[in-house]
Amino acid sequence: MITLLKYLQEIYGIDSSYVYDEIEKLKLKYNSNETLKELDEKDIMLITYGDSIKGKDKPLKLLNKFLSENVGDLINIVHILPMFPYSSDDGFSVVNYLKIDKKLGSWEDIKTLSKSYKLMFDAVINHISASSDWFKGYCNGEEEYKNFFIECFDDIDYKDVVRPRNLPLYYRYKTRSGDKNLWATFSSDQLDLNYSNPKVFIKVLEVLLEYAKNGANFIRLDAVGFLWKEVGTSCIHHRKTHLLIKIIREVLESCFPNTRLITETNVPHKDNISYFGNGDEAHLVYQFPLPPLTLFTFISGNSSKITKWAKSLEKIKLFNNNTYFNFLASHDGIGIRPVEDILDEDEIALMLNNTINKNGRIGYRKNSDGTKSPYELNINYLDAIADKNASVDMKVNKFMASQFILLSLQGVPGIYIHSLLGSQNDYKGLEESNINRRINREKLNYDDLIHRLNNKDTISSKVFYKYKELLKIRKNNASFSPSSKQKVLYLNNNVFALIRNNDADEILCIVNVTNKEVKVNIEFNGIDLITGKDFNNRLNPFQYCWVKRG
């Protein structure tokens, strides 16, 4: 209580008592009496849009049907990307935080899905749609929404503000009290909320509690690094942003201890892990360097950079209930910023050229000096990894070798639905929309998908069933629990290797990142859980092994 008051006083000054009283009311309203359950090796997440699979039924019903009939308990968490009514940005310009998009289904569908799977909801709380009641109320001069948004002025210098997109910082809008320039980090349709107004924070906090009440075991704080604005600063990773997250964490743990926060901050690694705080901010942080580092490893055939980076994680002390959220692909592109201090210019250029050569796109951001820098690679992860002219089997083997790294590392793995299903670049979606990110957001027809998965010669089928084999092994070995130890090994530049162990078992995780046979010098006797054979220190091209000591 004393700490909460201290944070509130630093953020809101004379309004801190009001905010504290409102928080206490929310705690009474939303108290769930839950008992905390620890994360374990069975916690594996699927990342999907509510309508990634479409057919005759509503998409949320189809998603549940597909998972129950084809995946079962191999995955036990489902991250449904924004499932609320929206006006742009494929869901990330939310019109109403508390309604389910009718095109997807209903809250009843969410409730049904939550009976079989833990769920992660997206909290798009840095900004809200220009079509929302919140913004309309502000423009109409309604008292409830007074100061809900951030006014900008032409005579103020905003050059220090970090820009994630190559777009203006603010746009002009008509309001009852005259035209105003309003802050919009991501687009003219996405107006940033004004967290210096305590009523905004209380209203958003109640939204998060409603999510937890309605089945959210994980809440993803989208673009949370931009939350607090202060002219003269970069307006990213502000101290008051961190304090707001600490307060959200404290309130959630008080009301819903099994609802965990994940922060989405696609930035250099040091800034990213700062959102662990002192074990009092995010429960999990995205491992943003992992997607580009894994990609670089396989297109260069050299594991030295990913080994050095993974080894450096051993120096970072994780607090109780903290772990990493590991992923390789998502609805967004493959971020470049997280490896700016890990890879040099030539190594980044290798990834850029690889993307262009495989018909992907490059996303750029605007720098404070007016120049632009590559921000993300827009390409399906399978196409990014696999060699263009390779056989289907070689493409599958190389891609699955990359996914093996994801499933081996300490933390909770998140698998994008298009990786699980072996999808490839969606050129039709890209061309129809002229939106770079659509290349990796294909909407799959349910019947066509089932037909592809049942045809064992397709790349989709081969990937899907190899993935299921790995998931079955992983979820049945406690060495893969987030709390189990990890030791990264340096054997040679042709392999990436680490050991995962708990008190009872020890597993060597090793993968050949090259297209040639390699031999490793390591004394580790045991059975490869994937092939059932003794490990003989030799690895075929892109072969991966989970060797259980014995």
Q: Which residues are catalytic?
A: 222
> Residue 181: exposed, middle, or buried by beta-carbon count in 10 A (0-12, 13-18, 19+)?
middle
The full DSSP string for 310-363 is HHHGGGSPPPTT-EEEEES--SS-EESGGGTTTS-HHHHHHHHHHHHHTT-EEE
d(CA 404, CA 406): 5
Q: For residues 44 and 117, is the Cβ–Cβ distance under 8 A?
A: no
| ∠ Cα 43 469 39 (to 5°) | 10
> Residue 522: exposed, middle, or buried by beta-carbon count in 10 A (0-12, 13-18, 19+)?
middle
> Residue 320: exposed, middle, or buried by beta-carbon count in 10 A (0-12, 13-18, 19+)?
exposed
Q: In this structure, which amino acid lies at residue 369?
A: D
d(CA 465, CA 114): 25
Spatial neighbors of 509 by CB under 8 A, at least 6 apart, are: 404, 408, 497, 498, 499, 500, 544, 545, 546
170: left (phi over 0), alpha (psi -120 to 50) or beta: beta
